[in-house]
């Protein structure tokens, strides 16, 4: 049956899909009993964690939304594609090569990475450049703990993060949206900042594939696309890395990509955001609310030019 939409309804008035799903889930939970609502998603393994720094006084986004509303273009460009398509990703065995300008390059197995440093719980605000945000209880360890092991040379100025490119399991690689593999980068001091982590889990359990299993970057004062998923290589380099989004559309995605309500993306305002699960918009905070911790990294830089 063909249903016509009233022409006077604005797209913004239509219930966002995940809010609709949340309402539908709540209705089903009412029918099936509260136990259904409390049931966790099909998670793989509990992690032994310690409480970390940077607590937030904000409610975490529902686990169901964190694990179903995703960007992971190797598994499709639709928000709900990765949850379905990334099931095929095998995350064991897995290794991450750390190489480039360092005294002790090394290939780390995932088991070794899980034991490299205490796995901390860190709840961070995450802001996507598309205008939505979440609060996610990550499990991870500071990137600095890993970099210390390989001893960066004085000539190393940047860190490049290269992610998995496996056409056997990633149908999205057939679509040339980006120049694969997905690559991200940070300045070395940004990578060594205590807020920057390599996440291996969320909500106390190992990451699911759609969230970047088995190991991904999390840099909470930058837009979500800096968070490279399913990392296979980390390189210490002298020149600013060519990052996937910057190569695809340099006028839209700069290298720094710091959350900044005063610098709009050409297609989306960055002044406000919609927290997934909420209906009203919130004001976006400078550096996503982490200005006290990170503003000094950018002293003297024109953030309108170096976006």
Residues that bind ligand MTE (CB under 6 A): 70-74, 128, 163, 182, 211-212, 224-225, 227-230
Give the sign of the dihedral formed by CA 287, CA 226, CA 270, CA 60: negative
Select 30 or 167, whichever has its Cβ closest to ligand MTE: 167
Rounded to a whole number of angstroms, the minimum distance from the CB of residue 8 to ligand MTE is: 32
Rounded to a whole number of angstroms, the minimum distance from the CB of residue 135 to ligand MTE is: 11
Select 122 or 229, whichever has its Cβ closest to ligand MTE: 229
Select 29 or 281, whichever has its Cβ closest to ligand MTE: 281
Q: Name the one residue in this structure whose structure tokens are 């190992």.
A: 206
Select 73 or 108, whichever has its Cβ closest to ligand MTE: 73
Select 128 or 197, whichever has its Cβ closest to ligand MTE: 128
Rounded to a whole number of angstroms, the minimum distance from the CB of residue 196 to ligand MTE is: 15
Q: DSSP letter string over 2-61?
A: --PPPTT--GGGSPPHHHHHHHHHHHHHHHH-HHHHHPPP----B---EE-S---SSPPP
Peptide bond into 93 cis (omega under 30): yes
Q: Strand ranges (DSSP E) for 83-131?
A: 95-100, 106-109, 120-127
Select 113 or 208, whichever has its Cβ closest to ligand MTE: 208
Q: Which two tokens stand for residue 82?
A: 């990765």
Rounded to a whole number of angstroms, the minimum distance from the CB of residue 129 to ligand MTE is: 7
Select 36 or 268, whichever has its Cβ closest to ligand MTE: 268
Select 117 or 134, whichever has its Cβ closest to ligand MTE: 134
Residue closest to ligand MTE (Cβ): 224
Rounded to a whole number of angstroms, the minimum distance from the CB of residue 62 to ligand MTE is: 13
User: What is the arrangement of strands in the sheet containing 106-109, beginning at the earlier edge strand?
Assistant: 106-109, 95-100, 231-237, 158-163, 183-187
Rounded to a whole number of angstroms, the minimum distance from the CB of residue 199 to ligand MTE is: 9
Rounded to a whole number of angstroms, the minimum distance from the CB of residue 128 to ligand MTE is: 4
Q: Which positions ≥6 away from 21 have C-beta within 8 Å?
A: 64, 68
Q: Which two tokens stand for residue 187?
A: 């300045």
Contact 106, 86 (CB under 8 A): no
Peptide bond into 104 cis (omega under 30): no
Whole-Å CA distances, 69 to 21, 184, 220, 228, 229: 11, 21, 18, 16, 15
Select 27 or 248, whichever has its Cβ closest to ligand MTE: 248
Reduce the DSSP state of residue 137 to 3 states and report it.
Answer: strand
Rounded to a whole number of angstroms, the minimum distance from the CB of residue 61 to ligand MTE is: 9
Rounded to a whole number of angstroms, the minimum distance from the CB of residue 296 to ligand MTE is: 26
Q: Are strands 205-206 and 132-142 parallel, antiparallel or unpaired?
A: unpaired
């Amino acid at each position: 049956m063909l249903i016509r939409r009233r022409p006077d309804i604005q797209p913004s008035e239509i219930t966002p899909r995940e809010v609709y799903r949340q309402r539908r889930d709540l209705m089903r939970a009412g029918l099936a009993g509260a136990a259904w609502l409390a049931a966790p998603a099909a998670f793989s393994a509990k992690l032994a964690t310690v409480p970390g720094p940077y607590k937030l006084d904000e409610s975490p986004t529902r686990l169901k939304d964190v694990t179903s509303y995703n960007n992971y273009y190797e598994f499709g460009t639709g928000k709900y594609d990765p949850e379905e398509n990334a099931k095929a990703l095998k995350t064991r065995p897995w290794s991450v090569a750390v190489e480039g300008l360092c005294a002790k390059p090394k290939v780390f197995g995932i088991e070794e990475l899980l034991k490299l440093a205490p796995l901390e719980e860190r709840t961070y605000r995450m802001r996507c450049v598309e205008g939505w945000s979440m609060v996610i209880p990550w499990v991870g360890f500071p990137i600095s703990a890993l970099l210390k092991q390989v001893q960066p040379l004085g000539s190393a100025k940047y860190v490049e993060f290269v992610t998995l490119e496996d056409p056997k399991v990633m149908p999205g690689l057939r679509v040339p949206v980006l120049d694969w593999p997905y690559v991200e980068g940070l300045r070395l001091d940004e990578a060594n900042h205590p807020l920057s982590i390599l996440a291996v889990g969320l909500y106390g359990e190992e990451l699911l594939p759609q969230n970047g299993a088995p190991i991904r970057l999390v840099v909470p004062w930058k837009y979500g696309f800096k968070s490279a998923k399913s990392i296979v290589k980390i390189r210490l380099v002298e020149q600013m890395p060519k990052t996937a989004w910057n190569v695809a559309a340099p006028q839209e995605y700069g290298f720094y990509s710091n959350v900044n309500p005063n610098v709009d993306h050409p297609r989306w305002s960055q002044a406000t955001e919609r927290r997934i699960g909420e209906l009203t918009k919130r004001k976006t905070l400078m550096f996503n609310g982490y200005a006290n911790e990170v503003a000094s990294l950018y002293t003297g830089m024109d953030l309108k030019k170096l976006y």
